[in-house]
Amino acid sequence: MHIDEFYKIERNIKMKKSTLLLGPKGIGKTTLLKKIKGIYIEYPSAKQILNAIAKHYKVNLFRWITIPEQLELIKRYLPKAVLLIDNCEDIYRPTIRLIEKLISEGAVVVVASSRKLYFLDEIVELKELSKEESILLAQELLPNANRIVHEIIANKSLGNPGKIAELAKDYKLGIKNIEVNPFDENSIVEFFLKLRPQMPDRINIFPLWVLFVIGFGALTLKVLLYSKGNFKDAYAIAAFGYMSLIAYKLISKKRIKK
């Protein structure tokens, strides 16, 4: 699906324009990236990006050389390189600088992220599929299923391709485990009604670091107002809050492979 968006990205690549592929988790960014001809990179660290380019062009990168030296070895291939970089929500600043350098050397980059990135002006945003597109995707994933299965999946998914794939997988597993009769419409409806809704991995109401600052800031203010001039406790609480913030940032960075 997302045919129009696919052609927009293809057109940008032909025009040598780097592009941000924007959309929430499960909307189909990875699926779309893998349909584009180029070098797909799942983990966006500087090392992974350089290794993927070198592997594609059969360039031997020695472990002990620096990133600038590695970049020099692959530099002549960059004007014809198309880099498809996935999962770029939390990339490090050095990795961003490397991507900017690759673009300046002639590479075309398509970056997939659920949030906007300042260094890319061309944006292709993925939105939920229409009812008709959702049914077509369900039919593609379950070509032999009853028509009511496709309609139920389209309705329950709310146009989210990732959810459509998830529901199709659940239905296949239900048939395998004899939990649903694929020839009985009542059984099919009952099966989908019993499926437990899954909570998203992350709800982006406020970043956790914002909650740290607000929470400990409010607590510090309360101590300052009601401690009758005793600032020691307020300073201790504020220091604890910011140390917690630093610890959270360090732990968060470990989730991304270097």
**Structure token digits, residue 216:** 């400990």
> Taking phi first (over 0 means left), then psi (-120 to 50 degrees means alpha), and beta for anything else, what does residue 158 get?
left
Q: Looking at the DSSP assignment, which residues form a beta bridge with residue 109?
A: 83
Q: Residue 200 above 50 pLDDT?
A: no
Query: Can you give the pTM of this predicted structure?
Result: 0.66
Cβ-Cβ contacts under 8 Å for 127 (sequence gap 6 or more): 23, 27, 159
**Token duo for residue 244:** 């917690």
Q: Hey, which residues does 122 pair with through a beta bridge?
A: 19
For residue 214, CA distances in Å to 20, 221, 242 come to: 32, 10, 11
Phi, psi (rounded to 5 degrees) for 18: -75, 145
CA distance 201 to 53: 31
> How far apart (Å, rounded) are the C-alpha atoms in residues 258 and 248?
18
7-45 tens-digit pLDDT: 999 999 999 999 999 998 889 899 899 999 999 999 788
Half-sphere exposure of 8 (CA within 13 A, CB side): 15
The confidence score (pLDDT) of residue 205 equals: 47
Residue range 39-59, pLDDT digits in tens: 999 978 888 999 999 999 999
Angle between helices 147-157 and 161-176 in degrees, nearest 10: 140
Measure the CA–CA gap between 177 and 196, rounded to whole angstroms: 17
What architecture (CATH level 2) is domain 3-125? 3-Layer(aba) Sandwich (3.40)
Max mean pLDDT range (56-65, 147-156, 212-221): 147-156
The whole-angstrom separation of Cα 180 and Cα 192 is 9
The three-state secondary structure class of 42 is coil
